[in-house]
Amino acid sequence: MIIAIDGPAGAGKGTLAARLADHFGFAKLDTGLLYRAVGLKVIQAGISLDDEHAATEIAAGLQASDMTDIAMLRRDETGNAASCVSAFPGVRAQLLAFQRDFANAPPDGAKGAVLDGRDIGTVVCPDAAVKLFITASTEVRAERRLNELQNRGLEAIYARVFEDMKARDERDEGREASPTAAASDAYVLDTGNLDAGEVFAKVLEYIDSKT
């Protein structure tokens, strides 16, 4: 069984994916980490984020060990770089096989997989049994991101976080290669007025109705 979760940054995809994977005993893949790893390697190599050829070569050689430094991968700079390189068709093509292999043959003998990203239900796993699109307004997501940064002891102001998120949304939704979008048969859930527990409960109810 494959559960595909899509949506913009800060909507709650990661938290939901973790809870669903734990509940069902499924393997979980945060596909955004793949693109963050590519973006981080581009930055560390001093390569321009506009260099599609170099980014594609890096994606082709990506290793599991490239996704172990979570602190670096979760930085805003890395997230913005990921948004840039993910617009390249070559990068997406190189990482597509990795994602599909994970979904179709989950590690450690798991009986299912939960994948969260931007194009899981539309491109990576169009035949997934369950497709979810988790969203919220830019204002709500920026406020969540601001709180997250401040709780980590980092200095941040709302206006900057909001503008960064807005720009990232525009890149993700406007790119030609696999733009962020809800699959036609996805369950769309706005989490703006819901806490994590309420989101989980609503999604479980939906999955029960499907399966």
* Predicted local distance difference test score (pLDDT) of residue 159: 94
CATH number at residue 196: 3.40.50.300
Identify the pLDDT of residue 75. 86
Q: How far are the Cα atoms of 12, 130, 199 from residue 133, in angstroms, in the given order? A: 10, 10, 12
Q: How many CB atoms lie within 10 A of CB 186?
A: 21
- Tell me what pLDDT residue 148 has: 86
Are the C-beta atoms of residues 40 and 77 closer than 8 Å to each other?
Answer: no
Position 210 scores a pLDDT of 83
Please give, one letter per residue, the 3-state secondary structure of the chain: CEEEEECCCCCCHHHHHHHHHHHHCCEEEECHHHHHHHHHHHHHCCCCCCCHHHHHHHHHCCCHHHHCCHHHHCCHHHHHHHHHHCCCHHHHHHHHHHHHHHHHCCHHHCCCEEEEECCHHHHHCCCCCEEEEEECCHHHHHHHHHHHHHHCCCCCCHHHHHHHHHHHHHHHHHCCCCCCCCCCCCEEEECCCCCHHHHHHHHHHHHHHHC
- Domain that includes residue 105, residue range: 2-210
pLDDT in the model for residue 156: 85
In this predicted structure, what is the pLDDT of residue 141? 95
- The number of folded domains in the chain is 1
Query: Are 62 and 148 contacting, i.e. CB atoms less than 8 angstroms apart?
Result: no
Torsion angles phi and psi, residue 176, rounded to 5: -75, -35
Greatest distance between any 2 Cα atoms in the chain: 49
Residue with tokens 């920026």: 142
Residue type, 128: A
Per-residue model confidence as pLDDT tens for the chain (211 residues): 999 999 998 899 999 999 999 999 999 998 889 999 999 999 999 999 999 999 999 999 998 789 889 889 988 889 889 989 988 999 989 999 889 999 999 988 899 999 999 899 999 999 999 999 999 999 999 999 899 888 888 788 999 999 989 988 998 888 887 788 899 999 999 999 999 999 999 999 999 998 7
* pTM for the model: 0.85
What's residue 85's pLDDT?
Answer: 93
Q: Among candidates 125, 105, 109, 106, which has minimal Cα distance to 117?
A: 125
The rounded distance, in Å, linking the Cα atoms of 56 and 62 is 10
